[in-house]
Amino acid sequence: MTFHGQFAQTCGTDFETFGLQLPRARIRDSFVPTLPSAKGFPVTQLPLADRWYHVTRVDDRITLITEPHVHPIWSANMHLVHGRDADLLIDSGMGIAPLAPVVDAARRDAGKPLILLSTHTHVDHIGAAYEFETRLVHPVEAQAQAAPGRYTLRSADVSDAARAMFARAGYPDLWDVIIDALPSPDYDIDGYTLKPAPATGLVEDGQIIDLGDWQGEILHLPGHSAGQVGLWHEPSGTLFGADAVYDGPLIWDGAGMNVTDYAASLRRVLALPVQVVHGGHDPAFGRDRLQAMCDHYLRLWGV
């Protein structure tokens, strides 16, 4: 299967995701009230979503939460890891609709502590971070989560450089707006904002997140983002790969990215006895797929 193929089966297209910070002065000036959406509806006539989040129990330990009505470039995976003493939420999506009630409904015991780990601070990974009391992030990413830039749901504000980056990676053109439905009847597309969510704790490479009967090791995996982290559970061979590795075309040559660091991160995960990867986007996959993907990009980059 091609890099695009597995994701296309799920989403009907073949995009990766990446959150773009927009220049502050350009946000409101270029809004157009009735830009068409991807599905042909004027923005003012977008249909109402039956539910904003999709929740899937992967196994007894992991629940996957996604935002199917967000354009695939910005539709990220959120993984809820169930523990004996605490639960762990890995990333928090776009923050277009309230996430915490959905997470609590998916937990076996919502009275237990809940830890949020932001793998990095692109918009599609920290949108609802402010909803959670305990928020962990790498020190390099902490300032961006505490004081995020301004963002828009209208792709007219995506820079030419970013569009070119997506094209180089093999993605089709963007939709005019990045949602194909509304989360509520009174939702204001132009009112979207990314709220500050200062970290309550910082994580470094090698640190352990302990849920009582499950321990995950923080892996610093720079390249896509300087402070990006993954999480490694050695007993099961499970890697939460964030945007370092997922079953879709990788984004590696944008602002703040470093291909030399990215290559080192891929080599690092290849050296682990990984059995399954839960990426920041796209479906989970196994060891053979991981090897093929990493080999492809290491040859492409030549570093």
Start-to-end Cα distance in the chain? 25
Q: Are 171 and 15 in contact, with CB atoms under 8 Å apart? A: yes
* C-beta of residue 215 within 8 angstroms of C-beta of residue 236: no
- CB 278: neighbour CB atoms within 10 A? 23
Q: What is the CATH number of domain 5-301?
A: 3.60.15.10
Kindly give, in sequence order, each residue whose CB lies less than 8 Å from that of residue 72, ignoring residues fewer than 6 positions away: 7, 11, 13, 14, 15, 16, 17, 281
Contact 267, 298 (CB under 8 A): yes
Compute the distance between CA of residue 216 and CA of residue 294 in angstroms, rounded to an integer: 22
CA atoms within 13 A of residue 151's CA, in its CB half-sphere: 26
pLDDT in tens, the chain (303 residues): 322 333 333 232 222 222 333 222 222 222 222 334 444 455 658 999 999 999 999 999 999 999 999 988 889 999 999 999 999 999 999 999 999 999 999 999 999 999 999 999 999 999 999 999 999 999 999 999 999 998 999 989 888 998 888 888 877 678 889 999 999 999 999 999 999 999 999 999 999 999 999 999 999 999 999 999 999 999 999 999 999 999 988 999 988 999 999 999 999 999 999 999 999 999 999 999 999 999 999 999 999
User: SS3 of 200, please?
Assistant: coil
